[in-house]
Amino acid sequence: MIKPHGADTLKPLYVTDATERARLTAEAENLPSLLVSSAAAGNAVMLAAGYFTPLTGFMNLADSLSVAETLHTTTGLFWPVPIVNMVKDISTIKDAKRIALRDPNIEGNPVLAIMDIEAIDEASPEQIRLMAEKIFGTLDEKHPGASTFMQQGKFLVSGPIQVLNYSYFPEEFPDTFRTATDIRNEIAERGWKKVVAFQTRNPMHRAHEELCRMAQERLGADGIVIHMLLGKLKEGDIPADVRDACIRKMVDVYFPANTVMITGYGFDMLYAGPREAVLHAIFRQNMGANYLIVGRDHAGVGDYYGPFDAQTIFDESVPAGALQIEIFRADNTAFSKKLNCVVMMREAPDHTPDDFITLSGTKVRQMLGQGLAPPPEFSRPEVAKILMDYYQVIDAGK
């Protein structure tokens, strides 16, 4: 199986020994506490689950600036996005060396992790803007990721962590949330040797379904890991439970047995386009995938990125040998009325726009809210039914 990034084995930071975990949980009650942001909590969960191997905790300011500017830590590890714990107020931990990190996403703010503080750095407004611009390509406060990053606070609390739980993800998504270790183990159990990963924060329509099928066939992959984001999204995005139901229905009906794993990870969406695509590749390598499908405007939002910037970054900014995982470069996919199947548009040069069935996201949402199913060439009827039920409830509540 493909090796993890920057290490021979995964380095999950979750404390697996129950006795030690209980001891640390008791210790945490007597430690100074820090209520972290949702973004930092997501980072802790990803560190716990092994997805951020080989990192041992949160980055300091020097590493964060280096990653933002050069895509490498100060010690030379290739990494595309700073993994940080940024806070506004350090008064409760100012002189502490060991602290409890508390979860903002669960009522009562239980302890999520214990952290040994190596440094508390104060970033200047210029440094925060520099990092935001490098990561997101914009300082526009309308960009959901850039806005979140710039509002988290100016203090970077860095150091190694020991994680005591996976936040709300196992309870809310027991059939879907999986660690990198879980996925590697299941890949081995299934006997898969070559694996392709598909990232999604949305339900999958026909184009996404066929894209997975194309990638599997063309790469000769044994299986597909559909790996969905389960954390926080921007307003208007479809909730994870609805998306999960849609994907499970599609796979149950339209894919052969033992060809697809449906999994999810606990992280808040960054909407960082090209940089996030590289991060996606790193943690898919860590979970055991040989390939990641990268399509049009991967991890993008609005019109902040070019349609294929998330592909070209692998040519322009990822040094040779930095990653073992490879990307499958996908074009726009749509149903061809001429060929009576879904195709990549670049592979149908004799087509005009009228030869494809395409619908905007706004148009699809309007149809679903009115109880109208999109054409079956665009969305499987079983999937459309789940989405129609969801949107009609949403619209009824307005």
Enter the tokens of residue 392.
Answer: 């009609």
Indicate if 201 belongs to the active site: yes
Mutual angle of helices 309-316 and 274-286, in 10-degree steps: 70
Residue 184 is a catalytic residue = no
CA distances, 118 to each of 57, 160, 164 (Å): 10, 8, 20
Sorted by sequence, the CB contacts under 8 Å of residue 256 that are 6+ apart come out as none
Phi and psi at 300, nearest 5°, equal: -90, 180
- Closest by CA to 356, choosing from 347, 369, 368, 367, is 347
Coil, strand, or helix at residue 257?
coil
In the block, which residue shows the tokens 């040994």? 116
Written as one string, the DSSP assignment of 197-256 is EEEESS---HHHHHHHHHHHHHHT-SEEEEEEE-S---TTSPPHHHHHHHHHHHHHHHS-
β strands within the chain, DSSP E: 33-35, 57-58, 86-87, 98-102, 111-116, 119-122, 155-163, 195-200, 223-229, 260-265, 291-294, 326-329, 333-336, 341-344, 356-357
Report the greatest alpha carbon distance in the chain.
Answer: 69
Q: Give the span between the Cα atoms of 77 and 72, in whole angstroms.
A: 5
Across-strand partners of 86?
A: 156
How far apart CA 81 and CA 33 sit, in angstroms, is: 26
Count of alpha carbons within 13 Å of 153, Cβ hemisphere only? 19
Angstrom CA distances, 188 to 175, 274, 287, 293, 369, stand at 19, 30, 11, 21, 42
Catalytic entry in 98, 202, 329, 332: 202
Of the candidates 98, 201, 296, 365, the residue annotated as catalytic is 201
**Cα–Cα distance measured from residue 4 to residue 286, given in angstroms and rounded to the nearest whole number:** 4
How many CA atoms, within 13 angstroms, populate the side-chain half-sphere of residue 313?
29
Question: Quick one: which of 320, 286, 290 has its CA closest to 4?
Answer: 286
Enzyme catalytic residues: 201-202
